[in-house]
Structure 1
Amino acid sequence: MAEHPAYPVGLRLTGRRVVVLGGGQVAQRRLPALVAAGADVVLVSPETTPSVQAMADAGEITWTRRRYQDGDLADAWYALIATDDPEANARAGAEAERHRVWCVRADDADAATAWTPATGHSEGVTVAVLTTSARGRDPRHTAAIRDAVVEGLRDGTLVAPHHRTRTPGVALVGGGPGDPDLITVRGRRLLAEADVVVADRLGPRDLLAELPPHVEVIDAAKIPYGRSMAQEAINNALIEYARQGKSVVRLKGGDPFVFGRGMEEVQALAEAGIPCTVVPGISSSISVPGAAGIPVTHRGVAHEFTVVSGHVAPDDERSLVDWTSLARLTGTLVILMGVDKIGRIAETLIAHGKSPDTPVALVQEGTTAAQRRVDATLATVAEAVRTQDVRPPAVVVVGEVVTVGPPTAP
């Protein structure tokens, strides 16, 4: 049997009895996929790992708390044998053969009638990789091939065009804080499949260079106090391209819903009857401080963090921020879009009770090659911004957490 390659097949196990013998690490790794497949899983083992027991407690599997007995595989469609008793494994394998139950042997692949492939998933596709024969099995090599294929599908470097008509629509993608590696896997894949990309200035610009030549890139840059594409024009562009049957990605910096006007775009698309998929992104409010060695919370230092927009000054009638209350908080204050207003913000916080000696850090161009960190206090931050020429985009962190880690980015 070992001289012939295995025949690959996908088992549809929904509602069908699957028996797993042994509740150790092998079962812990294989059970989630069996549950996800909808199988009626029966685990036979005197003991299990805590994770497997949690699955049993949640009702995802049925746990029979004893060792294997002859007859346990009756009426099973599929079996996984993974006990630490070689004699019991052999008896169970023989029972599986008698009942014509496809059987995986964790201890002896040559004695099994089925092998478990190295599997991975990417947006509705399952990648399964099998070694051609038991004699040459190399699980690590098989897993490496699986990982390479799945990663290629996810990040768009391995592109498999859709040959059936795709549903037109818009994907609202959070690009993360700036480093192109910090976009989500799903966001990167959607970019690779896009026909049109409407991109913000603060999105991960390096990703645009990787797009195929046929992809149309629309510059929706909103440069502070300079040229900008009105929000209504952005909404109209998304609707127009989607109605042309194109796959549209709206690429935004950070997370679409953290001071990103993403919901305005979702609402406009909904009113136009255009389907929209929202792909969350890593917000600069936590990622940029982290990249600079600043935890927004830390045991014994800060049990809370508050994120506010500083694009309007505290005394501006348009401001919706309760700066008086913020001054009384003992946790961390993260200010986005507040570099040019930080002097007036600092004065307001001090006026309402915040200590002038409260540490402040400004992280400019966070997570990118141009990242730099400037440290100050509430009393000195305005002068630091001026003398150090700190410019947007920069994240301002106020609080004792600034002093927890190293004074400069690692």
Structure 2
Amino acid sequence: MTTRLGRVTLVGAGPGSADLLTVRGLRALERADVIVADRLGARPVLDELGLDTPVIDVGKLPGHHAVPQERINALLVELALEGKHVVRLKGGDPYVFGRGGEELAACRDAGIPVDVVPGVTSAVSVPAIAGIPLTHRGLATAFSVVSGHDQLGEVGGGRDHTVVLLMGVGTLGHSAHVLARGARGADCPVAVIEDGYGEHQRVTIGTLGTIVAQAAQRRVRNPAVIVVGDVVTLSPYAPEELSARKAEAL
């Protein structure tokens, strides 16, 4: 008797709100035999949907991975070899600091067919909550998305090149120092958007020279997205002195 080979679908859950999950992602979840879910971003979406499908929580939180990535890879393969349709639900987009490429490679190496459903990345969607476009005519023509652990000294451009930092609260002091030493300068605008689309959503705006003290005073916590560049002045949360700079630049 031959066991039917299952399959794996990597689905991006978006930033944590079910109405930002794609239709294709929802259909994959509805057809799944089992869901392997991250806690950050993915779990709130499942809670909203209320599906009856069994869920295996692999418990990733900032700075704490209860289940190592290698074990997650192996779990996806094991479940698919049992003939199951496995949906791996990941916060944001699977390919934006989500290790989706590693999971896809592990499955394909084991002969497991894999589909990928893109998700709405927090790098773009969370700044939008604060009224911040990553590019804007007259202010910014390009942007870079980096993690708080990357070598920020290698990120070129000035304040017209927007920098989006993911997983960057813990290293905010170092990041602000490195970026301020370059062409952006200490007075470059910065926004920190906490818990985008969540019940504790909050925006803190300052400059590279002030944001560390502001974040400490307000006890800023992950999950948060940090935006650096003149586009921050477009936010309705920006103080008057930064908004005035927007008028000068345009």
Counterpart in the other structure of 2:91: 253
For 2:86 and 2:222, how far apart are their aligned partners in 1? 28
Could you tell me which amino acid in structure 1 is paired with residue 55 of structure 2?
Answer: V
Of 364, 374, 398, 2:204 maps to 374
For 2:46 and 2:154, how far apart are their aligned partners in 1? 42
Name the CA shift for 1:336/1:325 in 2 (closer, same or farther; >3 Å). closer
For 2:15 and 2:45, how far apart are their aligned partners in 1? 13
SS in 2 for 1:260: coil
SS in 2 for 1:361: strand
Of 167, 170, 184, 1:340 maps to 170
SS in 2 for 1:249: strand
Give 1:167 shift.
Answer: 6.5
Counterpart in the other structure of 1:365: 195
Could you tell me which amino acid in structure 1 is paired with residue 45 of structure 2?
Answer: L
Could you tell me which amino acid in structure 1 is paired with residue 114 of structure 2?
Answer: C
Q: TM-score, normalised by structure 1?
A: 0.55
Conserved? CA contact 1:180–1:204, under 8 Å: no
* Equivalence map 1:377-392=2 (5 Å): 377-392=207-222
Counterpart in the other structure of 2:13: 175
Q: TM-score, normalised by structure 2?
A: 0.88
Number of equivalences: 235
Q: Deviations over 1:327-364 (max 9, x none)?
A: 64632111111111111111111223322111100000
Counterpart in the other structure of 1:354: 184
2:240 counterpart of 1:402: no
Give 1:325 shift.
Answer: 4.2
Report which of the two structures shows the higher radius of gyration computed on alpha carbons. Answer: 1
SS in 1 for 2:35: strand
- Structure 2: segments with no counterpart, 5+ residues: 239-250
Could you tell me which amino acid in structure 2 is paired with residue 183 of structure 1?
Answer: L
For 1:252 and 1:196, how far apart are their aligned partners in 2? 14
Conserved? CA contact 1:326–1:349, under 8 Å: no
CA RMSD of aligned residues (A): 1.9
Name the CA shift for 1:324/1:245 in 2 (closer, same or farther; >3 Å). closer
RCO (CA 8 Å, sep 6+): is it higher in 1 or 2?
2
For 1:267 and 1:364, how far apart are their aligned partners in 2? 32
For 1:263 and 1:179, how far apart are their aligned partners in 2? 24
Runs of at least 4 residues off by over 6 Å = none
SS in 2 for 1:340: coil
- Structure 1: segments with no counterpart, 5+ residues: 1-165, 313-318
Conserved? CA contact 2:180–2:188, under 8 Å: no
For 2:155 and 2:36, how far apart are their aligned partners in 1? 38
Counterpart in the other structure of 2:76: 238
Give 1:177 shift.
Answer: 0.9
Counterpart in the other structure of 1:184: 22
SS in 2 for 1:339: coil
Could you tell me which amino acid in structure 2 is paired with residue 175 of structure 1?
Answer: A
